[in-house]
Amino acid sequence: MQKQLKTRISIIVLTFFAVVVTIVTSRVTSMARNLEVGRLVLSSSQIAGVLTNIRLILLVAMVLVGKKTGMIISYVLILISTVPMIIQMFFLQKWDGIPGLANTVCSVILIYVTYSFINNINHYNKILHLLSQQDPLTGMHNLTAVRDYIDKRIKAGKEFYISFLYIENFAQLNDMMGRDFGNSVLKSLAGRFIGSTVEGEYGGKNGDSEFVIVIDSSKENKDPVAERLEVDARVKQFIKQVKRPLIIENTEITLEPRAAIVRYPDDGGDINELYRHLDDTIAHYRNQAGAEVSFYDASVTNELTENGKIEDRLFKALSTDEIHLVFQPQYNLRTGKLRGFETLSRLEDEEGKSIRPDKFIQIAEKSNLIFRVDNWVLIHAIKRFKDVVKENPDLVISVNISANHLQKPGYAEFVLRTLKENEFPNKNLEIEITETVFASAIENVKAAMDKLRQNEVKVALDDFGTGYASLSYLSQLPVNLLKIDKSFVDKMHTSCEDMDFIKLIISMGHVLHAEVLAEGVESVEKKEALLEWGCDLVQGYLTGKPMEFEKAVEVIEKEKGSV
C-alpha cells in the first residue's frame, strides 16, 4: 500500500516537471532569439534541445517508476506537445519543425524500449521467484514457499494446523531400488497431493521424502475436540491417497505413510518451534505400531529430553566402564546340562536407578552409540570368560549385536581380532543377531556371517518369528541357533496357533541343521511341552535369571560337581 502511494506521488511529481519543461520548451522555441547566460550566448533552438533532452529523461524516469501508466502519460504528453508542431508543418507548410519531429519519434521509440525492457526484467523476476518457491523434482511448493506461507498466516493472526507426512519405508525402498526409482515414487505422490488439496489447505514438499500440509483452522467450528477430529480425518485422507498401491517401472509398491500434526498457536509461537515439535513427534512415534497420525503434545518433548539424558549417561558410562554385565544361563532340554550364558547389559542413571535395557539399547540404536556398546560388551564378556572357557571347553558365551552392526565392513574381522588378542577360542563365542539384518544390505551381512562361521564363531538368530527372515534367506545365511521369541512362548498354552507356530519353527530349525532355543520359559509345563515337541535348548526365569559373573561361575562349578 505504502509502495503504491510512493509510486503515485513520484508519477505526479514527474508529470508536473515534464509539463513545465514542455511548456518552457515551446515558449523558448517560439521566442526565436538568443539568450545570454553570463558570457555564454545560446540560441533558442540550443536551449530547446537541452530542454527536450531533460523532458526525455523525465519521461523515461516516469516509465521506470510507473511502468505501463508511466508510458501512457509520457505518450499523452508527447502527443500534446507534438500536435501543434504537426499542424504547423502540414497546414502552414513550415518545415523547420522536421528535426523536432524526428526527435519526438526517437523519444517514442526510446520510451517503448525502456518499457519492454523493464517488463521483461519483471517477467524474469517472476520466473526466478517461482523457481525459488518450487521443488525441482516434483513441482510442488518447496520448503521456502511453505515457510513463507506459514509466516504470512502467523502475521495475519490466523490459526492453523501443520502436518508433516513422511514415508516410513522410503529410505529402505531407495536403498533397495535405487534413487531414480525413489524419485519416480515422489513424483507420482506429488501428483496425488497437488490434486488433493482444497480451499484452506496448502501442500508442499519439505525434505527428501517429507510432505507438508497446512490446514486452516475452521472458522465455524469453535469446539477444539471436534476440530481436531476433523483435521485427523482430513490427514487420514491424504494418508489413504499415499497408501494406494503405486506401479513404478512395472513394480507395484505399497508405501507406509505417517503423519505428525501441530496446531498454531497452541503448540508453538513461531515457525521454528512448530517445526521442532513436529520433528519431535516424528522421532517419538517412528517405528511405533499403529501410530499413523499423531498429534504433538508436551510429553513428546519431555520424553525426548529424557532420552537425551539416557544417551548422555550411556556415553559417559562407555568411557568410565560403568556398563554392567549380567549373564543368563541356557540349558539343554534333553540332558539338562548347562550350554552357556547370554550376556545382557545393565545401566544405572546418576541416582543409581536402573534403566531398562531395551530402552537404552533402543536409544543407543537411534544415536549410533550402539556400535560402541556392542563392541564394549563383546570385549568385556570375552575378557571375563576367557579363563573360564579354558576350563570348560564346551561353554558357549553369547553376545547380542545390533542388526546394523553386521552390515558394517570389517565387523567380522574385528570380532576375530578381538578373540585372537584375548586368546578366547572362536568356537566358544556366539553372536546373536535379530531378523532385522535381513531387511537390507544382505550382501554385507552374508559376507560377515560366512567369515564368522568359517572361523567357528557361532551365529544365533534372536527373537525369531517377529521379523523379516524367510526360508530363502535362512537357507542362504545359515545360523547355528534359532531363538524362538518370548512372545510366542508367553502365549503357548492360550493359543493353538502359537503352539503350531512353535512346532513349525522347531522342525524348520532342524531342517536347516540349526538348534532351536525357547526364550522366556517361566513354567515347568512349558518346558516339558517344548521338550516333547523336540526343542533343543531353554533359557528363562525357570532355569535361571540373568546373574552376576561370580554367580555364573558358581553355576558352572556346581554343574561340574554334579557330573
Interface positions with ligand C2E (CB under 6 A)? 328, 344-345, 357-358, 361, 373-374, 377, 400-402, 462-463, 486, 519-522, 539-541, 546
Q: Which CB atom, from 173 or from 378, has the smaller least distance to ligand C2E?
A: 378
- Asked if residue 405 lies in contact with residue 361, where contact means CB atoms within 8 angstroms, the answer is no
Question: Which residues are 348's β-sheet partners?
Answer: 354
Enter the C-alpha cell of residue 494: 492360550
Looking only at the bridges linking them, the beta strands covering 458-464 and 481-484 are parallel
Q: Which CB atom, from 227 or from 430, has the smaller least distance to ligand C2E?
A: 430
Work out how close the CB of 309 gets to ligand C2E at its nearest, in angstroms, rounded to a whole number: 19
Q: Which CB atom, from 255 or from 459, has the smaller least distance to ligand C2E?
A: 459
Secondary element (H or E) of residue 534: none
Q: Which CB atom, from 205 or from 458, has the smaller least distance to Ca ion?
A: 458
- Asked if residue 427 lies in contact with residue 394, where contact means CB atoms within 8 angstroms, the answer is no
Question: How would DSSP label each residue in 391-438?
Answer: H-TT-EEEEE--GGGGGSTTHHHHHHHHHHHTT--GGGEEEEEEGGGG
432 in contact with Ca ion (CB under 5 A): yes
400 in contact with Ca ion (CB under 5 A): yes
- Here's the x/- map for Ca ion, 30-69, by CB under 5 A: it reads as ----------------------------------------
Integer Cα distance of 537 and 208 in angstroms: 47
Number of residues forming the site for Ca ion (CB under 5 A): 4
Q: Which CB atom, from 267 or from 435, has the smaller least distance to Ca ion?
A: 435
Q: Which residues contact 546 (CB under 8 A, 6 or more apart)?
A: 326, 327, 328, 342, 344
Work out how close the CB of 233 gets to Ca ion at its nearest, in angstroms, rounded to a whole number: 39
Work out how close the CB of 520 gets to Ca ion at its nearest, in angstroms, rounded to a whole number: 8
Work out how close the CB of 521 gets to Ca ion at its nearest, in angstroms, rounded to a whole number: 12
Work out how close the CB of 525 gets to ligand C2E at its nearest, in angstroms, rounded to a whole number: 14
Q: Nearest to residue 401, comparing CAs of 388, 415, 391?
A: 415
Work out how close the CB of 433 gets to ligand C2E at its nearest, in angstroms, rounded to a whole number: 9
Q: Which CB atom, from 355 or from 481, has the smaller least distance to Ca ion?
A: 481
Distance linking the first and last C-alpha atoms of the chain: 97
Secondary element (H or E) of residue 205: strand 201-205
Work out how close the CB of 418 gets to Ca ion at its nearest, in angstroms, rounded to a whole number: 19
Q: Considering only residues 146 through 175, tell me which ones interact with Ca ion, judged by CB under 5 A.
A: none
Question: How would DSSP label each residue in 433-493?
Answer: EEGGGGGS-HHHHHHHHHHHHHTT-EEEEEEETSS---HHHHHHS--SEEEE-HHHHHTTT
Residue 546 interaction partner, one of Ca ion, ligand C2E, none, beta carbon < 5-8 Å per kind: ligand C2E
Q: Which CB atom, from 300 or from 489, has the smaller least distance to Ca ion?
A: 489
Residue 124 interaction partner, one of ligand C2E, Ca ion, none, beta carbon < 5-8 Å per kind: none
Q: Which CB atom, from 231 or from 333, has the smaller least distance to ligand C2E?
A: 333
Q: Which CB atom, from 265 or from 357, has the smaller least distance to ligand C2E?
A: 357
Enter the C-alpha cell of residue 474: 535362512
Work out how close the CB of 517 gets to Ca ion at its nearest, in angstroms, rounded to a whole number: 9
Instruction: For 205, list phi and psi in degrees, rounded to 5.
Output: -115, 135
Integer Cα distance of 209 and 258 in angstroms: 12
Q: Which residues contact 545 (CB under 8 A, 6 or more apart)?
A: 328
Q: Considering only residues 456 through 495, tell me which ones interact with Ca ion, judged by CB under 5 A.
A: 462-463
Stretch that binds Ca ion, among 261-269, 381-389, 427-435, 510-518 (CB under 5 A): 427-435
Residue 375 interaction partner, one of Ca ion, ligand C2E, none, beta carbon < 5-8 Å per kind: none
